[in-house]
């Protein structure tokens, strides 16, 4: 048993002896499955990651509020470095799943509840998530670590200034801010939203853009998403704002990976992830400037 698994086995929330099993897929935390007296749990193991603006008090508060808002599994135990959640028996969605219109239509009300209902259940200090501040901070971190592709940063930051101006004034909601397909679980009855590492007050356009860019939605699906989220016909100004924020979400994912190349010790191919997202960002940015 690894040292981390042994620490999890010693948590005082278990009723019997347990053997934690690593759960594949995490690129920010180490995750484990634990079976305890015929019940299953997921344990998220991780300390604060200031480089990525991940603070565990914030994740815990968002996770508890997500459960109260009927969006996320119950937090049954937490202590420094660990959070134990009730296991959801369902299918982890893929990008192909989310591109199915029937699934996308089920995800939309989940986003609306996250943005507008969840805040009433929050308690204690909560972070904001302003992507343009994060981009500037990531740039400083990459420069300081002499990261790969550091020579591209001045041009990327100039683009970020253009994008921030294009986004302009925003409505403020509570965002999940990490809408990868793997953060949705379909139990056959409802779709659950998990992993609140990056949660915080933000513009709804960031989650909408992130959902589209992370999962390869078509332009027609993006238009459907905006019209049905806002309940109004799509206008050119909204499309421009949205497209700028979608570019920013892709740039953030790229720089997140560049920072992780330098500082993360998780077993994940961050270099390939950087290259993949950089291509996506460059394509989206070219589309934006040609609007």
Hunting for tokens 């470095």 — which residue is that? 81
**Confidence tier at 147 by pLDDT (50, 70, 90):** confident
CATH class of 3-86: alpha beta
Pair 104, 217: CB distance under 8 Å = yes
Question: For 226-245, what is each residue's pLDDT tens digit?
Answer: 999 999 999 999 999 999 99
DSSP string for 216-272: T--HHHHHHHHHHHHTS---HHHHHHHHHHHHHHHHHHHHHHHHHHHH--SS--HHH
Query: Could you state, in order of their start, the residue ranges of all structural domains in the chain?
Result: 3-86, 91-289
pLDDT at 25: 67
Order of strands across the sheet that contains 30-36:
21-23, 30-36, 39-45, 82-86, 75-79
Question: Which two structure tokens, joined as six digits, stand for 129?
Answer: 């998530």
Over residues 180-207, the mean pLDDT reads 97
Over residues 286-291, the mean pLDDT reads 92
Q: Say if domain 91-289 classifies as CATH 3.40.50.2300.
A: no
The pTM assigned to this predicted structure is 0.94
User: Looking at the predicted structure, is the pLDDT value of residue 219 above 90?
Assistant: yes
Angle at 175 between CA 174 and CA 178, to 5 degrees: 160
């Amino acid at each position: 048993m690894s040292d981390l698994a042994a620490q999890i086995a010693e948590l005082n929330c278990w009723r019997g002896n347990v053997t934690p099993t690593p759960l594949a897929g995490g690129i920010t935390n180490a995750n484990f499955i634990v079976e305890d007296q015929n019940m299953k749990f997921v344990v998220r193991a991780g300390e604060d990651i200031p480089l990525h603006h991940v603070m565990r008090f914030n994740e815990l508060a968002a996770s508890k509020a997500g459960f109260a808002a009927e969006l996320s599994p119950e937090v049954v135990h937490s202590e420094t470095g660990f959070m134990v959640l009730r296991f959801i028996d369902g299918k982890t969605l893929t990008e192909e799943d989310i591109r199915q219109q029937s699934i996308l239509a089920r995800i939309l009300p989940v986003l609306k509840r996250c943005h507008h209902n969840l805040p009433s259940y929050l308690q204690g200090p909560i972070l904001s998530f302003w992507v343009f501040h994060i981009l500037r901070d990531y740039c400083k971190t990459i420069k300081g670590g002499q990261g790969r592709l550091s020579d591209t940063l001045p041009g990327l930051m100039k683009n970020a200034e253009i994008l921030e101006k294009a986004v302009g004034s925003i409505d403020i909601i509570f965002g999940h801010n990490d809408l990868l397909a793997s953060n949705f679980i379909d139990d056959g009855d409802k779709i659950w939203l998990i992993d609140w590492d990056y949660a915080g007050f933000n513009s709804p356009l960031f989650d909408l853009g992130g959902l589209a860019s992370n999962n390869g939605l078509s332009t027609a699906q993006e238009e459907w998403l905006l019209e049905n989220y806002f309940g109004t016909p799509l206008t050119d100004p909204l499309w421009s704002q949205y497209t700028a924020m979608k570019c920013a979400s892709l740039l953030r994912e790229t720089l997140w990976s560049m920072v992780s190349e330098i500082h993360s010790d998780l077993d994940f191919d961050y270099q390939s992830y950087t290259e993949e997202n950089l291509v996506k960002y460059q394509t989206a940015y070219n589309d934006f400037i040609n609007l």
